[in-house]
Structure 1
Amino acid sequence: MDVPLSRVEVAEFDRVLAGMENPYDRAAAFSALTRINTLYMVMRAGSGHLGSSFSAADVVSHLFLSEMDRPFEDDGDLYFSSKGHDAPGLYAALIGLGRLPEEYVHRLRRIDGLPGHPDVHTPHMPFNTGSLGMGISKAKGVILADRLRGVSRRVFVMTGDGELQEGQNWEALAGAAHRGMGELTVIVDHNKIQSDTYVSDVNDLGDLVAKFESFGWGALRVDGHDQQELEAVFRKRAEAFPGRPAVVIADTVKGAGCDTFAATSMGEDEWRYLFHSGAPTAAHYRTAHAELTAAANTLLTAAGLGTVRLVPQEPRTEPAPGGPRLFEVYGEALVEHADGREDVVALDADLVLDTGLIPFSRRFPERFVEFGIAEQDMVSAAGGLASRGLLPFVHSFSCFLHARPNEQIYNNATEGRRVVYVGSLAGLLPAAPGHSHQAVRDVSAVGAIPDLVVLEPANAEEVRAAVRYCLDSPYSVYLRLVSAAVPDEVTALGTEPLHTGRGRVVRAGGRTVAVGSGPVVLAQLLRAAEELAADGIELTVVELPWLNRVDRDWLASLAAGADHLLVVENHYTKGGQADTVARSLMELGAPHRPRFRGIGLTEVPRCGTEDQALRAHGLHAEQLAATIRAQVRGGTEPAASAVDITLRAH
């Protein structure tokens, strides 16, 4: 079904800003227009964060239009978002002010467009986001540099209330107060809902004013949607705390600006906010667009500017619903097995929906613990649970699970505690959220940890087998789950019993052998094999779901039947599966060794559609076929993102 879309042109922003004399109405009207365009951008992209963008919109409008001094000059006042989920709204504001090219309004989450989360390669984005909680520390660094350079300016940082569960925020506070950083103002977008549900139901923040004051900060509270109150609170901040860092706690509503998205419209029995991420349905888009347009028209007509001028855009076809994702299958399998295993407990880091844990949390509420946005705390608690004979399954996105609590994972391993770490959203795809969410270094980050096996299943049947393996294995396991849809040809592969370090042939061919794991790589290899067959090259495709283990006998048998052996991975080329296989081949000392090549990412992953990202990194089936063809025929055709390692017998 086609969904008609419309947006506000920059010329209309100019007309409204020039025609509004009252500064409060001007900022409110600007917010209303940016919300219309934010909705358009997310709908066009097919994904994005509406709730956080809408809750922060009025504060952003006030800062850019009324508060900041020379905000777009090198040494002018600086603003950036630490929470990152408000990026679409921030982009809409910058486009409306003429600070980003207008054509970018059509290119949210597209290659060479606007990344899903802040990235320094976008103008006026001074920092990338990653794991939450980095922003205050980044701001302190800017201020220290400014002082060394003799620059005087203010720095404003937007954080989320859920973000304040990350410990780095609290590490940063004392040092800022100790150094008298009166230049620093932190704004908390206190919309009271984190990714899935209410902050108070996850990790209640308590008295935020008292908490900040206990670190020596000035603290103020304000209605984050009232422009007059915003002006008053920032004036008070300057007068009351000139030599101290200060926080402005902005009480906001997630999805503010229209009833369709506003969290205040949630029923008493509703626990999950529906518009944190993703694009709305056609029905939700239509009602929200009408509400946003009506709100803008009320402000404009009161100022004598008529109604908002909207520009129709190419309709977007609403995608057909897809099949279940691997994390959903995983969640069902975990519940099935936990029925007979009372030692199984599940821990989550504010991603109960996207890690498949809703069924477990409902079936075994006493064995489910929500830790919120606090991965280090969660992983160390898992070590404590394991010390008492329980088997913790620990969940988050792969990009967060392998990185921030890496030391805690290693510490658990040194104690000999068996823990299962389940990382969803693994690998390059989906690429729309951007590199902060594309986990392509997780295998290298955890692969060397003693007695920890990295396992990546390819389809639903293999996920179920992987859960059984995690329950019965003597090892700790890092279960790497791709969140993109599983292609049909990979679903059709089914599964075989899992034996640590051993793979299986999923397409029989000749002496050119390609090894891969997971649905993304295997689908591209199977498609590449069909293309190569037309050229007379019969590719043998092998699935090796073990990313940091390889059985020597199995590998010796595989290598004996290969003249060319390629490992393609949904990961950086350094420290991943190719390195493991290459080292094992060298150590075999066999008289015959195939020519070896590892193919993977060699640069920071790109944000865009799935097809765009695969092509950008040389992992599309057509590119893999070209690489393999050149390898077999001894050509010199370069392969994007490929590392060539030649192994020869001495």
Structure 2
Amino acid sequence: MPYPLRRVPLREFERVLASIGEPRARTRAFAALCRINTLYMVTRAGSGHLGSSFSAADLVAHLLLHELDEPHTEHGDVYFSSKGHDAPGLYAALIGLGKLPEEDLHRLRRLGGLPGHPDVHTPHMPFNTGSLGMGVSKAKGLILADRLQGRRRRVFVTMGDGELQEGQVWESLAGAVHHRMGELTLVVDHNKIQSDTWVQDVSDLGDLEAKFRSYGWGVLRCDGNDVDALAEAFTTRRERFPQLPAVLIADTVKGAGCATFAATSMPEGEWRYRFHSGAPSDEDYLAAHAELVKAAEEILARHDLGPLELLPEEARVAPRPTGKRLPEVYGEVLRDRAGSHPAIVALDADLVLDTGLIPFSRTFPDRFFECGIAEQDMVSMAGGLAAGGLLPFVHSFSCFLHARPNEQIYNNATEGRRVVYVGSLAGLLPAGPGHSHQAVRDVSALGAVPGLVMLEPANAAELAAAVDFCLESDESVYLRLTSVPVPDESANIPSGPLRLGRGRTVREGDRVVAVAAGPVMLAQLLRAAELLTAEGVRLRVVNLPWLNRIDEEWLTQLAAEADTLLVVENHYRHGGQADAVARALLESQLPELPDFHGIGLTEVPVCGTEEEALDAHGLSARRLADQILKTIRSR
């Protein structure tokens, strides 16, 4: 990046807040400064959610400056975001108020810094978010706890309009009315766009006001990017609905306050909003920064304040990932196979871009079903499609696909339905979004489902073979796909026909054998093997793409050729591939077993860069080499 990023220092926030006496003007100025710093944070981090942060910026500014009583204290009013995507904007506001350290501006999505989604280990974040739909339920529990302990405070929750597709949201509403929770205010950030595209084109919400009224909630509506309208709406809420939970439907613009990012600036006919996640290009950053500074200085000028002070930061911006990701390859393979397999249909949960389904959806629009943010509904629909003689391929991020519809996946299995589940974003990386999006328990959650094979390909060639296996298998398959670019070491691994439960040696060695699946762990192991040669250790590396099926004959032969056998996995240590291998070893009744070790995550995954996260969990090449060497020397 040939130019410095610029940010607003804390002293400027303090000057502006102290100098503007009129409350609503102060809110406008504060929100304008927060948008500048949000842009700085996301650009520096290399990823983040600009659109959602900007749409909610005026609401957050009003709540933090004027609405909450004794916020940020132990028993003061509580505000939190259920949608979680607006975390960068919320962080910028808290830093601007001095509630988070100013240096945190430089540490978005970095190890020990500010996670990609709110996390309770960050001050002033009462709940983890990122997995959608939980906000009202958590608020209800907090209010009940307050009542039992003789406290009364208000709780404010923000949800996205796409989030309203989650079934838990609607489960939670009636109970709030039943308990007369006048303490609870829900704000819907109604910016009309979810992850990829317009809410109305995915799963139209219909008459939201009527829906909430039908549950007994007090309902208000206003322009959520107009601070005057927001102030009046919250006054009305207090006057009209003191004993009822109330919802404010705040009509906003995704990317509001900046023409570069505003959804209203999308070209005619464009279906995809480009700034939901990720960092802006250099061109977009420069244009947006100029717009935001101009808007802020115009507000300051109206109050006779001097020009805005901006600090240039010669920051090392996180590099943009390069290289092809497996979901992209997968989408092309599925489209190609679907041409000769008319039974294939594809279902998606609002992630058509990230799951690689654009080629399929354009080639076979009648066989593509966008289900929205509703994984349980999607998986049960797949069961019905399978019952009707089709072969459904079901798609979402693995963190949501294995967890939200776990019961529905099991139900499909008990009915003997043949379904292919494709979980992208699997494993520890990318680590920037935080643990709500890091799927490191999916193998343990689904490995015991009867009739379900779990398979993780290492590269494009093996992925194509895996899709072919899905088409030929009599069983259901969970295809686990890592979403970071495939490292060169893994891309160059030779592939061949897949044989259920059997692996393939990808680096010859002696009697120390390390087994792994997928591009991330195999690449780290191959690099570790190079490091170990300097210590006189010739590590044999084996690619075992099967996560819950082990061929006894193959494993017996492998164990006979090993003094030490290690399984390294992109998953928690317990319940994953290592456990499957260990059980198969014990049941093999070999007269002599190799020294066995499983290596994986032992703690909730950290947020940070890829290098930081791998190293923190002992899964980087250097740390793997150290662990393997220590294991050998301790025998």
In the alignment, which residue of structure 1 is the partner of 2:134?
Answer: 134
Q: Does 1:44 align with 2:28?
A: no
What amino acid does structure 1 have at the position aligned with 2:93? A
Contact 2:43 2:317 in 1 (8 A): no
Q: CA deviation at 1:72?
A: 1.1
CA distance, structure 1, for counterparts of residue 586 and residue 409 of structure 2: 30
CA distance, structure 1, for counterparts of residue 233 and residue 285 of structure 2: 34
Q: CA deviation at 1:269?
A: 0.8
CA distance, structure 1, for counterparts of residue 557 and residue 389 of structure 2: 39
Q: CA deviation at 1:267?
A: 1.8
CA distance, structure 1, for counterparts of residue 234 and residue 317 of structure 2: 44
CA distance, structure 1, for counterparts of residue 316 and residue 290 of structure 2: 17
**What are the residue-to-residue correspondences of 1:471-486 with 2, within 5 Å?**
471-486=471-486
Q: Does 1:598 align with 2:603?
A: no
Q: Does 1:396 align with 2:396?
A: yes
**What are the residue-to-residue correspondences of 1:347-362 with 2, within 5 Å?**
347-362=347-362
CA distance, structure 1, for counterparts of residue 605 and residue 267 of structure 2: 40
In the alignment, which residue of structure 2 is the partner of 1:492?
Answer: 492
In the alignment, which residue of structure 2 is the partner of 1:639?
Answer: none
SS class of match (1:244): coil
In the alignment, which residue of structure 1 is the partner of 2:385?
Answer: 385
What amino acid does structure 2 have at the position aligned with 1:417? R
What amino acid does structure 1 have at the position aligned with 2:543? E
CA distance, structure 1, for counterparts of residue 62 and residue 411 of structure 2: 46
CA distance, structure 2, for counterparts of residue 209 and residue 3 of structure 1: 47
In the alignment, which residue of structure 2 is the partner of 1:413?
Answer: 413
In the alignment, which residue of structure 2 is the partner of 1:513?
Answer: 513
Q: CA deviation at 1:3?
A: 3.9
CA distance, structure 1, for counterparts of residue 400 and residue 320 of structure 2: 30
In the alignment, which residue of structure 2 is the partner of 1:467?
Answer: 467
Contact 2:562 2:594 in 1 (8 A): yes
Could you report, residue by residue, the CA deviation over 1:504-547 in whole angstroms, capped at 9, with x for unpaired residues?
Answer: 00000000000000011001100111111111111000000000
Contact 1:459 1:494 in 2 (8 A): no
**Percentage identity across paired residues of the two chains:** 70
What amino acid does structure 2 have at the position aligned with 1:455? L
CA distance, structure 2, for counterparts of residue 307 and residue 300 of structure 1: 7
SS class of match (2:514): strand
In the alignment, which residue of structure 2 is the partner of 1:632?
Answer: 632
In the alignment, which residue of structure 2 is the partner of 1:376?
Answer: 376
**What are the residue-to-residue correspondences of 1:305-384 with 2, within 5 Å?**
305-316=305-316, 319=319, 322-384=322-384
What amino acid does structure 2 have at the position aligned with 1:634? S
Q: Does 1:423 align with 2:423?
A: yes
Could you report, residue by residue, the CA deviation over 1:152-209 in whole angstroms, capped at 9, with x for unpaired residues?
Answer: 1110000000000000000000000011000000000000000000000000001111
Could you report, residue by residue, the CA deviation over 1:74-104 in whole angstroms, capped at 9, with x for unpaired residues?
Answer: 1111000000000000000000000000000
Q: CA deviation at 1:231?
A: 0.8
CA distance, structure 1, for counterparts of residue 65 and residue 554 of structure 2: 65
Could you report, residue by residue, the CA deviation over 1:410-441 in whole angstroms, capped at 9, with x for unpaired residues?
Answer: 00000000000000000000100000000000
Contact 1:62 1:227 in 2 (8 A): yes
Q: Does 1:246 align with 2:246?
A: yes
What amino acid does structure 2 have at the position aligned with 1:438? Q
CA distance, structure 2, for counterparts of residue 64 and residue 316 of structure 1: 31
SS class of match (1:170): helix
Could you report, residue by residue, the CA deviation over 1:223-268 in whole angstroms, capped at 9, with x for unpaired residues?
Answer: 0011111111001011111110000000000000110000000122
In the alignment, which residue of structure 2 is the partner of 1:643?
Answer: none
In the alignment, which residue of structure 1 is the partner of 2:613?
Answer: 613
Instruction: Structure 2: state its 5+ residue gaps.
Output: none
Contact 2:439 2:571 in 1 (8 A): yes
In the alignment, which residue of structure 1 is the partner of 2:173?
Answer: 173
In the alignment, which residue of structure 2 is the partner of 1:646?
Answer: none
In the alignment, which residue of structure 2 is the partner of 1:226?
Answer: 226
TM-score, normalized by length of structure 1? 0.97
TM-score, normalized by length of structure 2? 0.99
SS class of match (1:35): helix
Going from structure 1 to structure 2, the CA distance change for 1:628 and 1:46 (only over 3 Å counts) comes to same
CA distance, structure 1, for counterparts of residue 380 and residue 131 of structure 2: 17
In the alignment, which residue of structure 2 is the partner of 1:648?
Answer: none
In the alignment, which residue of structure 2 is the partner of 1:298?
Answer: 298
SS class of match (2:4): strand
CA distance, structure 2, for counterparts of residue 3 and residue 181 of structure 1: 51
**What are the residue-to-residue correspondences of 1:522-537 with 2, within 5 Å?**
522-537=522-537
Q: Which stretch shifts more, 375-384 or 467-476?
A: 467-476
What amino acid does structure 1 have at the position aligned with 2:474? P
SS class of match (1:309): coil
In the alignment, which residue of structure 1 is the partner of 2:573?
Answer: 573
What amino acid does structure 1 have at the position aligned with 2:48? G
SS class of match (1:187): strand
Q: CA deviation at 1:131?
A: 2.2
Q: CA deviation at 1:316?
A: 4.2
In the alignment, which residue of structure 1 is the partner of 2:274?
Answer: 274
CA distance, structure 1, for counterparts of residue 510 and residue 144 of structure 2: 61
What amino acid does structure 2 have at the position aligned with 1:457? P
In the alignment, which residue of structure 2 is the partner of 1:147?
Answer: 147
Going from structure 1 to structure 2, the CA distance change for 1:73 and 1:272 (only over 3 Å counts) comes to same
CA distance, structure 1, for counterparts of residue 149 and residue 324 of structure 2: 55
What amino acid does structure 1 have at the position aligned with 2:329? V
CA distance, structure 2, for counterparts of residue 343 and residue 147 of structure 1: 55
Q: CA deviation at 1:130?
A: 4.1
SS class of match (2:261): coil
Q: CA deviation at 1:321?
A: 6.1
Q: Which runs of 4+ in 1 moved over 6 A?
A: none
CA distance, structure 1, for counterparts of residue 595 and residue 321 of structure 2: 43
In the alignment, which residue of structure 2 is the partner of 1:258?
Answer: 258
Contact 1:94 1:100 in 2 (8 A): yes
SS class of match (2:314): strand
Q: Does 1:74 align with 2:79?
A: no
Q: Does 1:106 align with 2:106?
A: yes
In the alignment, which residue of structure 2 is the partner of 1:33?
Answer: 33
CA distance, structure 2, for counterparts of residue 627 and residue 73 of structure 1: 44
In the alignment, which residue of structure 2 is the partner of 1:640?
Answer: none
Could you report, residue by residue, the CA deviation over 1:261-280 in whole angstroms, capped at 9, with x for unpaired residues?
Answer: 00000122101000000000
SS class of match (1:2): coil
Q: CA deviation at 1:22?
A: 1.3
RMSD: 0.9
Could you report, residue by residue, the CA deviation over 1:50-81 in whole angstroms, capped at 9, with x for unpaired residues?
Answer: 00000000000000111111111111110000
